[in-house]
Amino acid sequence: MPDLESTTRYDPAEVEPRIVARWLDSGLFHPEPEGTAAENYSIAIPPPNVTGSLHMGHALNNSIQDVLVRHHRMRGHRTKWILGTDHAGIATQTQVERQLRREGTSREEIGRDAFVARTWEWRERYGPTIVDQLKRLGASCDYDDERFTLDEGYVEAVLKVFVSLFEKGLIYRDRYIVNWDPGSRSAISDLEVEEREVADVLYSIRYDVEAGGSVTVATVRPETMLADTGVAVNPADARHRHLVGATAILPLVGRRLPIVADDYVKPDFGTGALKITPGHDPNDFEIGLRHGLDQVSVIGEDGRVTATAPERFADLTVLDAREAVVAALREEGRIAAEEPYAHEVPFSHRSGERIEPLISLQWFMAMDRLAGPAIEAVESGRVRIHPDSQRRRYLQWLAEIRPWCISRQLWWGHRLPVYYCEACEETYVSAQAPERCGACGGEVRRDEDVLDTWFSSALWPFATLGWPRHTPELRAFYPTDVLSTARDILFLWVARMIMMGLEFAGDVPFSDVYVHSIIQAPDGRRMSKSLGTGIDPLEEIDRHGADAVRFGLLAMSSTQDVRYSAEKVEQGQKLANKLWNASRLVLLNVDGRVAPGGRPEALEDRWIVSRLQRAKETTSAHLEAFDFSHAALGLYDFVYGELCDWYLELVKPRLYEGGDQRSELSATLLHVLRETLAMAHPVIPFVTEEIWSFVPGSRGLLAGQRTSPPDEALLDPEADAEVGRAIEAVRAVRGWRDRVGVAAGERVPGRLEAPGYEAMAAQVARLARLDLRTDGGDPVARVVIPAGALAVFAGGGFDPGAAERRRGQRRDQLRADVARSEGKLANRGFVEKAPAAVVDAEREKLARLRAEVEAL
């Protein structure tokens, strides 16, 4: 424990580990499952990948969730922040494969069972990393109840859902063209594909027509011509209409290609004729189905040309094949034209390799029937998505949803509960492996594929609570309250959770979705390791403290993307330090035997109690509106702008000198300190928890304290006005002193010529360094303050010349303002059409300005 007296700087590095340990030991973060979800509060964490370590996005997202969780816990709700990690199929498998490669072996070499065992070991070793990092951030997750998407119970949930969807006819197996990722050697879903601009060449290739003549097609992938099975033209295209029904001859291969008419073909693009390659292009696949064209594949899962192609091209990579095909065509004089062509091309989001569309036998999930209720849930407001732009995005995507390819050719993940008979054609879909084939008694073999990781993630909010069993946890915490996430997984994850929740858990999984900002590098680029633009939140915590990082990230957050602001983090660090020192002032001087009290009589005490009330209200309102930046910055404004700059300065004499008022003052100071700590705790939990341990009479952890909700009745407009006026007066006099060159220590003789300062006159005098008198004769200067002026007498040690110059400047500005105001009021349109209140306000303003000119 630091010594309060001598520790003038708050030291997060010393404090934070102690506080984390106390929180974890307290059991405060682990609620017993009692009551119903309607009365309790819960958030399911977006499960980080087991491969992961805390990056800036995690730091922001978990700061957001923690501020909500702590706020509600302190409101007295039974609160659970569901914690766990995701097995992250491709990402994790890739890591372990890399490790094997370093050891000179491979997954194929060691076999599936050994590989899966290795991956579990890997998970045991690296899985705790990110959870420990969450603790450093101060995240108050339920660490006693950690889940993993491959836990036994979780597997049970996944299998049950798969079987159920299969039985409902929503999951089916199909030969279809899929996004093949040669990098991970697996199919991936549409959502895992990203478009990148690529500079290609658009080749025009002449195909002979059997009956004579030729047709020229345009393509950026000449190598796929080896798998052409047709040519298409637009039926309305006069240039090509005569070719429909004819047959073209595929160069280099000799295959006969039917020429068909299809509206898909754009007459004005390229040559107006399109080669059709159903095996290697999604559009051509559809066209091929429409016209009954053959499906030929010449590119294999390894991204190389297969033996189906002419021998001279076999086994070439796609790029080599392209060169070879172009060379061969050129030799035959069939390249009619080539031009540079920049266009968007699909790449794997996972491996970064160019997608190879392939026809493949995969498992799919039909989405439209599940999409309906998921759309309704958001349209009706049962699920609210913030900000609204993301809500619109969500609805648009669901309206055009397409089947989801859910099988992956990986080893790490939920293996499909599908079994095939070795002897006959029978297929079984069941959570329990059948012993033998029911039809022929033959051996059964399990499907090799695993499910897309997002299939299991979609069950997260209820599978973590024990579903399909009717557990107390499920009853107490499902549906959850808020889901906070980055927008890039709104479709991949959030939409699917809503569908699955409605279909299987009987309710929406959460009532609010908050889509947070993406934090960019300070220069506006994406934060990424490869660009070298990443900033490690853990290093920032080392440097500035977890409270500072949390405050900074919350203060940065917005409804749109933001640049990382080191200044905001420093602002948070200053706030923590300020609160520490303000607390020292209070705790080292207060009478600790006095009970805290929030109903004082002294004017400035009533003022701070009122301001505190206002701060509590606005902080709460901002948090409930998911406006985290204003919640954080509002806290800063209260602590600096009201508590420290004014209130503590106002009470110092009473505090030091003691006297009769000391016990009332102590009661107020303790009350205000406790309330301030509680209000700030969700945002900056460490420093507030640390200070709490020094507060006389504090029992237990601050994190477990129950705070009172804001109460309008505690506002004190009279005190607000009187003290507010005094503050303005002090500011005015200080500004004047500085401008006219009064030395900082000099006491200036003067007389208050304004009403409403009776209770605060001595305070104004002290803070503005005035010697107030009631007599004094003719003033040498007047300083305008609210409701009047301060008359200044000779002897104040200021420079009359400077004072006069300053007065001249001020007078000029005031006259301009008066003129503008007069002009406005002379405008009949304004006086007649503007609301009376606005006109009155303008008149008052004018009167004030005129009075000030007078005073000068």
Of 78 and 221, CB closest to RNA: 221
- Which string of DSSP letters, residue by residue, matches 260-276? EE-TTS-TTSTTSEEEE
Of 538 and 834, CB closest to RNA: 834
Cβ-proximal residues to 224 (8 Å cutoff; 6+ apart), any chain: 277, 279, 280, 281, 298, 299
Least distance in angstroms from the C-beta of 314 to RNA: 23
Please identify which residue in the block is written with the tokens 């390819």: 405
Name residue 334's amino acid.
R
Of 384 and 731, CB closest to RNA: 731
Yes or no: say if 694 and 676 are a contact pair by the CB < 8 Å rule.
no
Least distance in angstroms from the C-beta of 63 to RNA: 17
Of 239 and 446, CB closest to RNA: 239
Least distance in angstroms from the C-beta of 423 to RNA: 40
Of 424 and 743, CB closest to RNA: 743
Least distance in angstroms from the C-beta of 736 to RNA: 8
Least distance in angstroms from the C-beta of 255 to RNA: 18
Least distance in angstroms from the C-beta of 319 to RNA: 16
Least distance in angstroms from the C-beta of 567 to RNA: 4
With residue 418 as reference, give the H or E element that holds it: strand 418-421
Least distance in angstroms from the C-beta of 8 to RNA: 4
Residue 772: count other Cβ atoms within 10 Å of its Cβ.
18
- Which string of DSSP letters, residue by residue, matches 354-376? BPEEEEEEEEEE--HHHHHHHHH
Number of helices (H) and strands (E) in the chain: give both, helices first. 27, 28
Of 475 and 563, CB closest to RNA: 563
From CA 466, how far away is CA 398, in angstroms rounded? Answer: 28
Least distance in angstroms from the C-beta of 514 to RNA: 16
Distances in whole angstroms, Cα of residue 58 to Cα of each of 42, 137, 460, 664: 18, 10, 18, 45
Of 77 and 544, CB closest to RNA: 544
Q: What is the dihedral of CA 794, 795, 796, 799, to 10 degrees?
A: 70
Of 166 and 364, CB closest to RNA: 364
Of 382 and 578, CB closest to RNA: 578
Of 66 and 627, CB closest to RNA: 627
Of 314 and 834, CB closest to RNA: 834
Yes or no: say if 501 and 483 are a contact pair by the CB < 8 Å rule.
no
Spatial strand order of the sheet with 186-188 comes to: 186-188, 171-181, 356-365, 404-405
Q: What's 160's DSSP letter?
A: H
From CA 790, how far away is CA 796, in angstroms rounded? Answer: 13
Name residue 793's amino acid.
F
Least distance in angstroms from the C-beta of 495 to RNA: 11
Cβ-proximal residues to 261 (8 Å cutoff; 6+ apart), any chain: 232, 233, 234, 235, 241, 244
Q: How many CA atoms lie within 13 A of 240 on its CB side?
A: 29
Least distance in angstroms from the C-beta of 839 to RNA: 8
- Which string of DSSP letters, residue by residue, matches 741-792? T--TTPPEEEEEESSS-TTTHHHHHHHHTEEE-S--SS-SEEEEETTEEEEE
Of 556 and 754, CB closest to RNA: 556
Q: What's 387's DSSP letter?
A: S
Of 280 and 415, CB closest to RNA: 280
Least distance in angstroms from the C-beta of 451 to RNA: 21
From CA 514, how far away is CA 661, in angstroms rounded? Answer: 48
- Extended strands (E) in 234-355: 247-249, 256-261, 273-276, 335-348
Least distance in angstroms from the C-beta of 841 to RNA: 6
From CA 321, how far away is CA 814, in angstroms rounded? Answer: 81
The tokens for 560 are: 């749109």
Least distance in angstroms from the C-beta of 252 to RNA: 17
Cβ-proximal residues to 13 (8 Å cutoff; 6+ apart), any chain: 542, 545
Q: How many CA atoms lie within 13 A of 348 on its CB side?
A: 21
Q: What's 494's DSSP letter?
A: I
Of 185 and 563, CB closest to RNA: 563
From CA 761, how far away is CA 755, in angstroms rounded? Answer: 10
Least distance in angstroms from the C-beta of 261 to RNA: 13
Positive/negative CA dihedral, 774, 778, 780, 786: positive
Of 159 and 765, CB closest to RNA: 765
Least distance in angstroms from the C-beta of 629 to RNA: 7
The tokens for 398 are: 């669901």
Of 33 and 724, CB closest to RNA: 724
Q: What is the dihedral of CA 203, 209, 214, 217, to 10 degrees?
A: -20
